[in-house]
Amino acid sequence: MSKMKGPAIFLAQFATPEAPFDTLENITRWAGDLGYKGVQIPTWESGLINLEQAAASKDYCDELKGICATNGVEITELSTHLQGQLVAVHPAYDEQFDGFAPPEVHGNSAARQAWAVQQLMLAARASENLGLDAHVTFSGALLWHTMYPWPQRPEGLVETGFRELAERWTPILNAFDEAGVDLCYEIHPGEDLHDGITFERFLEATGNHARCHILYDPSHFLLQQMDYLQFIDIYHERIKMFHVKDAEFNPDGRQGVYGGYQGWVDRAGRFRSLGDGQVDFSGIFSQFSKYGFQGWAVLEWECCLKHPEDGAREGVDFINHHIIRTTDRAFDDFAGGGADETTNRRILGLD
């Protein structure tokens, strides 16, 4: 049997103040009715979860799990994408990222960072109270503005940046270790952890921390023109979470990876609903089966064209179709014969 679980759905792109997307009870009923078995919960959506209460009360967490179970789903993981982004912000992005934090810390980068760190600490305890074993976040970025080296980066700049990033995250990683939860960074453009090399730099700077892991999302690798199948070969031991998200890359004589500051519809690289893009999901699910991936296959819907409810509905069958029921025997077992060491040596011409 396959060890992968699913289908599940990340609720961040669906949560709104209107029913059925306004409360945990309503949105999990909607997801369960579509056929999803799990939900990944964004912790900044107060209509879905009170993070502080979840960190303090196992009874409250049991209530959350009960609501989900009634609607036929379970909580797969919690997400702190927005809060994690604020652990490390270059001043050039202060004004844009203030919107990720409460108004009382706007315009105060130190207070905003302290708030974000506290949010991650709460998420570690909440994940433990919910009985979860993985959590997803963003790393934030101190170096992103130097991604394209012009003018050239001063010697030692990158090392200093990753050393500082690791210093900020190590206490958080330790808190997740105490909670028994893997902290998975979504490898994502705009973050200092945006490909395999940058993840390796960060991992080394944390002393190869046991709780430092990866959320794998192939859409971000396709748009960078990376080999996303080989990525699994290289990092499968560190991949603990999986966003099933599609994308396409159609460069032409006018634009390529960087997209010319255009909106998503007009960019060469853009996100699409499952099955509408270019990602080789058959290859990905085969790779995960090869390595015995035991996490959830979680739909993350981000499409510049299709309606989100259509994408969510179609995603159930898409993921179910791709999850592989692994075999417990070889296809040619029927042709095999019994053997022993004496027979094997005789076949090799050794006796």
What are the backbone angles phi and psi of residue 214, rounded to the nearest 5°? -125, 135
Decide: residue 119, CB within 10 A, 0-12 exposed, 13-18 middle, 19+ buried: buried
What total of structural domains would you count in the chain?
1
Residue whose C-alpha is closest to residue 6's, from 237, 329, 213, 284 = 284
Instruction: Look up the pTM and report it.
Output: 0.95
List the chain residues with pLDDT less than 70: 1-2
Distance CA 103, CA 148 (A): 33
Residue whose C-alpha is closest to residue 198's, from 170, 231, 174 = 231
pLDDT at residue 334, as a whole number: 74
Contact 123, 80 (CB under 8 A): yes
* 3-state SS assignment for residue 243: strand
Distance CA 49, CA 43 (A): 6
pLDDT at residue 207, as a whole number: 98
Distance CA 242, CA 215 (A): 5
Decide: residue 235, CB within 10 A, 0-12 exposed, 13-18 middle, 19+ buried: middle
pLDDT at residue 1, as a whole number: 52
In CATH, what number is assigned to the domain containing residue 113? 3.20.20.150
DSSP 49-111: --HHHHHH-HHHHHHHHHHHHHTT-EEEEEEEHHHHHTTSB-GGGHHHHGGGS-GGGTT-HHH
| Residue-range definition of the domain harbouring residue 164 | 5-347
Q: How many CB atoms neighbour CB 102 within 10 A?
A: 10
DSSP 8-state assignment for residue 36: -
Q: How many CB atoms neighbour CB 348 within 10 A?
A: 8
CA distances to 33, 226, 285 from 323, in Å: 20, 23, 6
Distance CA 324, CA 292 (A): 11
Q: Residue 282, Cα to own-chain centre: how many angstroms? A: 19
Which residues partner with 135 through β-bridges?
Answer: 78, 183
